[in-house]
C-alpha cells in the first residue's frame, strides 16, 4: 500500500515541494504570458532555470502558495509551525 500524500494536515516534504513549485511556476506563466520566456534560460545540460529576476519572482509566488496551503491547514512534514 502506498503512503498517503496528506496525513493529518501534513504532506510529505518532497511532495509538498513538488506541488508548491509547480503551482508557483504555473502562476508565474499565467501572470507573465509570453514575457515568461524572459525569466528562464537553458543551461549546458539542457535544464531550464530561472534568471536571477525570474528566481525572485518565483520565490515570491512560492511563498504565497505555501501561505495559502498553510492557511488551509496543509503543512509539510517537519514544518515547525504545524500544530
The region that residue 33 occupies, defined by phi over 0 for left and psi between -120 and 50 for alpha, beta otherwise, is left
3-state secondary structure of 75: strand
Which candidate, 18, 22, 33, places its Cα nearest to that of 58?
A: 22
pLDDT of residue 76: 84
How many CB atoms are located within 10 Å of the residue 37 CB? 11
pLDDT of residue 82: 45
Cell numbers of 34, please?
Answer: 509570453
Q: Give the pLDDT confidence of 36-78 residue by residue, as tens digits.
A: 999 999 999 999 999 999 999 999 999 999 999 988 888 888 7
pLDDT of residue 83: 45
pLDDT band at 2 (very low <50, low <70, confident <90, very high): very low
Cell numbers of 68, please?
Answer: 495559502
Q: Where are the domains of the chain?
A: 7-76
Q: Give the pLDDT confidence of 10-33 residue by residue, as tens digits.
A: 888 899 999 999 999 999 999 999
Amino acid at each position: 500500500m502506498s503512503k498517503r500524500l496528506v496525513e493529518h494536515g501534513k504532506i510529505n516534504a518532497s511532495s509538498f515541494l513538488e506541488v508548491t513549485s509547480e503551482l508557483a511556476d504555473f502562476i508565474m506563466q499565467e501572470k507573465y504570458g509570453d514575457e515568461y520566456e524572459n525569466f528562464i534560460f537553458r543551461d549546458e545540460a539542457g535544464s531550464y532555470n530561472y534568471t536571477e529576476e525570474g528566481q525572485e519572482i518565483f520565490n515570491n509566488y512560492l511563498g504565497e502558495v505555501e501561505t495559502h496551503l498553510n492557511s488551509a491547514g496543509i503543512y509539510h512534514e517537519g514544518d515547525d509551525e504545524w500544530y
